[in-house]
């Protein structure tokens, strides 16, 4: 006997309602007119065709009053399940703004939390699309409890599987903390915002006029607050970023990153690397030119591009090996490490270490940023985060000292004494407590006071100090660095070091966890 047709029709009807979010074609078309995909379209365009296995399609809301008794909320406003991206399993969660504004209720939250818990069990990356008006106030405190469940799962997944958040619409109040607990945050350039307190609340509490574009947009978060790592032009661009990012990451902390090793290591010199080093030590070196020649073609993804631009971080491949690049950028703030640069670098380093990604550091740093605002803002504790992050690393650490390497900032940027495995220095590097100009004034103070021609004597003493104490050979003689190399040798020397360090294993004393400066 065949199953009754009315039962199949009922199932088809329920599925169709879920697939369209219970909306008419006109409502979906209006969303498209704004340049936005629906929640389900975001999922289907992200994952490989036919690979999505949805969970909880028929879940409905738990509101008992306020006119909700006869309302159906398709999937309770969120889509969740497993799919593949380029053949690799991922967990996808996509909030549906077309269902009650994507508001989070208790079952909506449970659906999200269950999906994240399963991701931890299966070892799959989590991709969460945030497009929600916030807590469903008709459910009262149960919606707040739901946020707590989601946040807890974010924390339990931290360092276990990569977590990527996409801000694709409103993300307000407590909802903003889930993306903040994740590893990478992408925000749409238009039609999205993220904030704790809106303009009206800010004005009521402080009297300040604060338009959303000053603090809630992708541009504000990518440049000022640093909450957003990538800005996407639209949904399609955001999906491209997610796929590119995942191409560098392992699925979980027990796997190695997806290296693409060639059978033979290329050992050619790159004479062009010699040419990009300015003859004058006071002329800024553009670190992007170094990165471009160091990494494999089309294998570079910068992270946090528009935030703290004196520090450059991103993922790359060097002769097929996935690496995290951490680099000072002398063209911004002379490459000094300030509060924001410290946070940016430390966060990235800790992520790489958690997911078995070797770190290549490109150093050209005159020091930590001086100034009253930096001191009062806590440059000591923020700078300590960089020291802590490098010192806790168990992944391979390869450092290239290009030019300036002064004081505590030199120690902080992956120095050998902080745990660097291989530290190369270019002949143009200056490794010292401070720059020769400042050191000469202190060390040779008496000589300068008694000199007949102080300017000439000062220049002479600066060069004397530089020759005796700043050249890389003193560090090499002391074993503080591994070797002095030509810039032209950098790519193959780094590639060779990375190959030799692939078997690195470090056992640390057992403890619950360390305590990073906050």
The Cα–Cα gap between 124 and 116 comes to: 9
The Cα–Cα gap between 356 and 255 comes to: 8
Q: Reduced to 3 states, what is the DSSP secondary structure of residue 232?
A: strand
The Cα–Cα gap between 490 and 402 comes to: 10
155 within 8 A of 117, measured Cβ to Cβ = no
Find the catalytic residue in 35, 123, 174, 438: 174
Phi, then psi, of 223 in degrees rounded to 5:
-110, -35
Find the catalytic residue in 226, 281, 408, 438: 408
Q: Is 65 a catalytic residue?
A: no
As to burial, measured by CB atoms within 10 angstroms (0-12 exposed, 13-18 middle, 19+ buried), residue 451 is middle
Residue that the structure tokens 């078995």 belong to: 356
Which of 402, 453, 393 has the alpha carbon at shortest distance from 424?
402
Which of 57, 90, 255 has the alpha carbon at shortest distance from 166?
90
The Cα–Cα gap between 241 and 168 comes to: 13
As to burial, measured by CB atoms within 10 angstroms (0-12 exposed, 13-18 middle, 19+ buried), residue 249 is buried
Q: Is 133 a catalytic residue?
A: no
The Cα–Cα gap between 286 and 301 comes to: 17
DSSP 8-state secondary structure symbol assigned to residue 187 = E
DSSP 8-state secondary structure symbol assigned to residue 49 = T
The answer for residues whose C-beta is within 8 angstroms of residue 370's C-beta and 6 or more apart is 336
Find the catalytic residue in 101, 173, 281, 377: 173
Helices (H), 181-270: 199-206, 218-220, 235-246
The Cα–Cα gap between 154 and 183 comes to: 10
In this structure, is the dihedral angle defined by the CA atoms of residues 47, 182, 223 and 331, taken in order, positive or negative? negative
Q: Reduced to 3 states, what is the DSSP secondary structure of residue 404?
A: strand
Q: Is 50 a catalytic residue?
A: no
The Cα–Cα gap between 365 and 443 comes to: 22
Q: Is 173 a catalytic residue?
A: yes
Find the catalytic residue in 409, 425, 439, 475: 409
In this structure, is the dihedral angle defined by the CA atoms of residues 88, 496, 469 and 283, taken in order, positive or negative? negative
The answer for residues whose C-beta is within 8 angstroms of residue 282's C-beta and 6 or more apart is none
As to burial, measured by CB atoms within 10 angstroms (0-12 exposed, 13-18 middle, 19+ buried), residue 268 is exposed
293 within 8 A of 491, measured Cβ to Cβ = yes
Which of 68, 170, 39, 62 has the alpha carbon at shortest distance from 108?
62
Catalytic residues: 173-174, 408-409
């Amino acid at each position: 006997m065949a199953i009754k047709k009315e039962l199949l029709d009922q199932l088809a009807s329920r599925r169709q309602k879920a697939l369209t979010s219970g909306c008419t074609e006109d409502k979906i078309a209006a969303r498209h007119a704004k340049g936005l995909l629906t929640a389900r379209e975001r999922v289907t365009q992200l994952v490989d065709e036919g690979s999505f296995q949805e969970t909880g399609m028929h879940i409905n809301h738990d509101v008992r009053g306020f006119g909700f008794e006869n309302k159906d909320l398709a999937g309770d406003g969120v889509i969740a399940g497993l799919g593949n991206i380029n053949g690799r399993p991922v967990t996808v969660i996509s909030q549906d703004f077309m269902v009650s504004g994507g508001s989070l209720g208790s079952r909506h939250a449970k659906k999200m939390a269950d999906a994240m818990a399963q991701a931890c069990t299966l070892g799959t990356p989590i991709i969460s699309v945030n497009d929600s008006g916030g807590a469903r106030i008709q459910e009262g405190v149960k919606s707040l409890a739901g946020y707590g469940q989601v946040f807890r799962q974010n924390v339990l997944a931290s360092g276990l599987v990569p977590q990527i958040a996409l801000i694709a619409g409103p993300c307000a109040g407590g909802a903003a903390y889930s993306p903040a607990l994740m590893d990478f945050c992408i925000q749409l350039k238009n039609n999205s915002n993220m904030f704790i307190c809106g303009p009206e609340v800010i004005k009521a509490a402080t009297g300040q006029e604060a338009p959303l574009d000053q603090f809630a947009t992708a541009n504000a978060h990518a440049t000022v607050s640093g909450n957003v790592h990538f800005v996407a032009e639209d949904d399609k661009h955001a999906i491209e970023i997610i796929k590119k990012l995942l191409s560098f990451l392992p699925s979980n902390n027990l796997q190695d990153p997806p290296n693409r090793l060639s059978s033979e290591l290329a050992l050619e010199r790159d004479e062009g690397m010699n040419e990009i080093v300015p003859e004058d030590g006071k002329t800024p070196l553009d670190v992007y030119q170094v990165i471009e020649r160091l990494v494999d073609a089309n294998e570079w993804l910068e992270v946090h591009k528009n935030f703290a631009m004196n520090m450059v971080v991103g993922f790359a491949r060097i002769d097929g090996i996935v690496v995290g690049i951490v680099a000072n950028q002398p063209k911004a703030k002379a490459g000094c490490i300030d509060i924001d640069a410290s946070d940016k670098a430390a966060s990235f380093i800790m992520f790489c270490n958690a997911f078995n990604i070797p770190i290549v550091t490109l150093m050209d740093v005159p020091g930590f940023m001086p100034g009253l605002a930096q001191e009062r803002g806590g440059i000591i504790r923020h700078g300590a985060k960089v020291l802590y992050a490098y010192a806790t690393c168990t992944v391979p650490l390869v450092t290239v000292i290009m030019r300036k390497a002064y004081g505590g900032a030199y120690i902080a940027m992956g120095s050998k004494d902080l745990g660097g495995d291989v530290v190369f220095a270019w002949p143009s590097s200056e490794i010292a407590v401070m720059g020769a100009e400042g050191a000469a004034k202190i060390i040779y103070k008496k000589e300068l006071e008694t000199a007949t021609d102080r300017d000439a004597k000062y220049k002479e003493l600066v060069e004397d100090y530089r020759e005796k104490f700043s050249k890389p050979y003193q560090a090499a003689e002391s074993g503080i660095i591994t070797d002095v190399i030509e810039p032209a040798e950098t790519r193959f020397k780094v590639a060779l070091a990375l190959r030799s360090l692939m078997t690195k294993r470090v056992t640390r004393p057992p403890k619950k966890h360390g305590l990073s400066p906050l």
